[in-house]
Homo-oligomer: A and B are copies of this chain.
Amino acid sequence: MRPSHRAPDELRPVRLTRNYTMHAEGSVLVEFGNTRVLCNASLEPRVPPWLRGQGQGWVTAEYGMLPRSTHSRMGREAARGKQGGRTLEIQRLIGRSLRAVVDMKQLGERTLTLDCDVLQADGGTRTASITGGYVALADAIQHLLDRGELKQSPLTGLVASVSVGVYQGTPVLDLDYAEDCNAETDMNVVMDDQGNFIEVQGTAEGHPFSRDELMRMLNLAEGGIFRLIEAQKAALGTA
């Protein structure tokens, strides 16, 4: 039995609260159980130097944890003077995942920056960031459509993400912190609404996993992401 008493294929309660803060073009608080991430999408009418003059846009992401979002206080990255490897890895993953559903030509010479800041961590902060980040992104794009700055949405689909793992020999969906710490294997899966994979990142430092376990984890992820995409559509009123 899982520490969370959930069934192996059961997600934690998911909440997507739009317009959580007032300045960002898209602002979503995403909750996967006790994990809470504030996803703010910002629009800027320019692109990075290496993209200038090509008539296309850019989508990027930054990720951070508040120092006391975790069980014991972590040092503040701004005070330490650099972002750690885990932070950089996560924000690169979020950026790639969102770019997979945006047509950069259609977006035009604009940068969409998604800031994912973890207010409270209980496992799955990167998957929550992608899932909530998509909704913030959709709101920021709607903002452009509403003001007539874009005629047509550059979004080519929806994207969501969930973790899966093997806990005491059983593949389980959406691990919380207690489960994640004791999982033998941990995999983050990102998929679009066509059921295709955008990212598959499985790690088995302690216990290598077999082809069969991989398949069973992917099945769980597929089911979970389908439900997360439903939650995104409901939140956006497009269900």
Contact = CB atoms under 8 A, between A and B. Distances in A.
A85 B82 contact: no
Copies in the complex: 6
A214 interface: yes
In this complex, which of A87, A196, A208 has the most chain B Cβ atoms within 10 angstroms of its Cβ?
A208
Contacts of A170: none
A76 to B, nearest CB: 5
A119 interface: yes
A119 B38 contact: yes
> How big is chain A's contact interface, by range?
35 or more
A192 B205 contact: no
Interface stretch (A1-9, A19-27, A147-155): A19-27
Interface in A21-41: 21-24, 27, 34, 36, 38, 40
Interface string A204-225: 1110111100100010000000
Given A66-B117, A197-B209, A214-B218, 12 more contacts: A23-B120, A27-B68, A38-B66, A40-B66, A78-B87, A85-B88, A96-B203, A195-B210, A197-B202, A198-B204, A199-B203, A201-B201
